[in-house]
Structure 1
Amino acid sequence: MTEFRPIATPTRTVDIMKRYDIKMKKSLGQNFLIEPRMLEKMIQAGQIDQTTTVIEIGPGIGALTQYLAHYAERVLAFEIDQRFVSILGETLADYDNVQIIPQDILKVNFAADELTWLRQVSRLVVVANLPYYITTPIIMHLIESGLPFDRLVMMMQKEVAERMTAQVGTKAYNSLTIAIQQNMEAKIDFIVPKNVFIPKPNVDSAVLVLTRRQSPLVHVSDPLAFQSFVQVAFQQRRKTLWNNLKTALVNSDYSVDRLQELFDQTGIEPVRRAETLSIHEFAHLFQLYQQQNSLVN
């Protein structure tokens, strides 16, 4: 192995961009990290060592991938931008434990035969630097994939990380908070300032660490329907629960009287707003709503 020379420096990053005539795609939210200390902190956040198999999403020119390969047993890097696939073959030429997969992570079937070996590894960690527009779909895809990962270490827009870690009653608390915290414990590990990227984004980022709960925070009969119910409750934050649920639920099969009965039975005041309800209160509302419908049907 040759001397370790970080890709994540201003000089090397600019050199690679010039050599390969790389033009950043705003549509993919691309920004290159140019501060090695941030990558070292991501390695620490993931507790990555020689027993760890890592799935990386969006390696780009390989700045984070290089660190992962240096510390981990094996790295599978999924890259949707075909321009970077051949570049990665050169920037990571010193590492024989990296496999570049030119595929959209959202289209990957982790139950496919060629990936079943991932369920047998000693320890699995997912690491990524995620663009804002695709952060939530990717994280939900991973949570629902059934992969036995130890943790997810995700760099994302700071505001999104704050929503995922929010407490009930705060401005950041919303349906995304509940969708994440239902199955995962979420904490912000550290903040990444915007001036350590090329090109510089408009806002700071945060590294979020997600670890799977031993069991869901609340048990509901239909988790997907529960998330839809919560989204309805948050549809317009300034409106009361009553107004949001009435707009979405009341129709020819579900009357205002039944909605009032729902609030009466739960003891939850209909004038409250969604951000004041805990996940347990939402689960109580949802389960009674499901029971109402099952009795009718």
Structure 2
Amino acid sequence: MRIADYSVTKAVLERHGFTFKKSFGQNFLTDTNILQKIVATAEIDKGVNVIEIGPGIGALTEFLAEQAAEVMAFEIDDRLLPILAETLTDFDNVQVINEDILQADLQERIKGFKNPNLPIKVVANLPYYITTPILMHLIESKIPFSEFVVMMQKEVADRISAQPKTKAYGSLSIAVQYYMTAKIAFIVPRTVFVPAPNVDSAILKMVRRKEPLVTVKDEDFFFRVAKASFVHRRKTLWNNLTNYFGKSDDVKIKLEQALTQAQLAVNLRGEALSIEEFARLADCLWEQFAH
């Protein structure tokens, strides 16, 4: 029997008198086939260390521990610690850390792996309400995670993996795809969770690029321009950029010059631009405004 088997999950929760906390976005997966698929998608073997976020009662952790060299699982809810100590008792290659992943000093933590030089993959069923901050925190940390295989709300996975000229494409697509390739591996129906969430989920596989997708003069400025370009999706690039940089004549002249230099029409919307075009635009704007 697996931890994820519904009867086992139910018995564990009842034995410990565990109640779900909405504030932690807790939805426990009770489908062993999906857990197997997640681990297969992540291509976990004994040459890989894994970081898991929000292990819950250890359903995914169990599958990861069987395949990986080591698993470091970050769990914010201290009520789950005695449960995890019980469910994962057979594994000596799992560390459960009672810490908020957004507050953790990951550089220090990963030194706690027996072999910290192995590639590190992030495999997790992320809490829906905080998926994006966690992902961006991990991607922007200086830790060279080789891969992420994470479950999230399908709509967020669509946005991260979206291509230009689609409704889902936006600053989040750009922020992630700058560093990683992103592809939806498969969809997970809401019915396989306890309690069932209101939406379907998706497993998103992201692999770190050797180099960022584009080279820009100032990364921070590039991301700010991308974000500003999508503040009002229905507005043109010109309207969004004047809202961001200002509407004085001097600013408008600089904007016009930057757009001309970047070979972009003023009436385009943000979603029409590829990441390469955003890089060109950001560099031209940087010359005008930040230089």
1:74 and 1:115 map into 2 onto residues whose CA distance is 11
User: Which whole-Å CA distance do the structure 2 matches of 1:51 and 1:286 have between them?
Assistant: 40
1:149 to 129, 135, 145: 145
Deviation track 1:121-166 (CA, whole Å, cap 9, x = no partner) reads 3332111101222111111111122222221110001111111111
| Equivalent in 239, 256, 259 of residue 255 of structure 2 | 259
Give 1:48's match in structure 2, choosing from 34, 37, 44. Answer: 44
Contact kept? 2:259, 2:284, Cα under 8 Å: no
Q: What RMSD, in angstroms, separates the aligned Cα atoms of the two structures?
A: 1.6
Alignment of 1:138-287 (within 5 A): 138-250=134-246, 255-287=251-283
Are 1:103 and 2:99 matched, yes or no?
A: yes
Letter in 2 for 1:24: F
8 Å CA contact 2:149, 2:203 repeated in 1? yes
Q: CA deviation at 1:250?
A: 1.2
TM score, norm. by length of structure 1: 0.93
Q: In structure 2, how many angstroms separate the alpha carbons of the residues matched to 1:254 and 1:73?
A: 59
Pick which of 219-228 and 114-123 moved more.
114-123
Matches within 5 A, 1:18-167: 18-112=14-108, 115-116=110-111, 120-167=116-163
Please give the per-residue CA displacement for 1:273-297, whole angstroms capped at 9, x wherever unaligned.
10001111111111011111245xx
Q: Structure 1, unaligned stretches of length 5 or more? A: none
Distance in 2 separating the partners of 1:33 and 1:116 = 30
Q: Which runs of 4+ in 1 moved over 4 A?
A: 251-254
Question: In structure 2, do the counterparts of structure 1 residues 248 and 65 end up closer, same or farther at CA, with 3 Å as the change threshold?
Answer: same
Number of residue pairs matched by the alignment: 290
Per-residue CA shift, 1:237-289, capped at 9, x if unaligned? 00011111111111669522222222222221111110001111111111011
User: What displacement does 1:117 show?
Assistant: 5.8
- Indicate how the Cα distance of structure 1 residues 219 and 254 shifts in structure 2: closer, same or farther if over 3 A, else same: farther
Question: Which 5+ residue runs of structure 2 have no aligned equivalent?
Answer: none
Tell me the amino acid that sits aligned with residue 60 of structure 1. Answer: G
> Using the alignment, how far apart are the partners of 2:221 and 2:288 within structure 1?
14
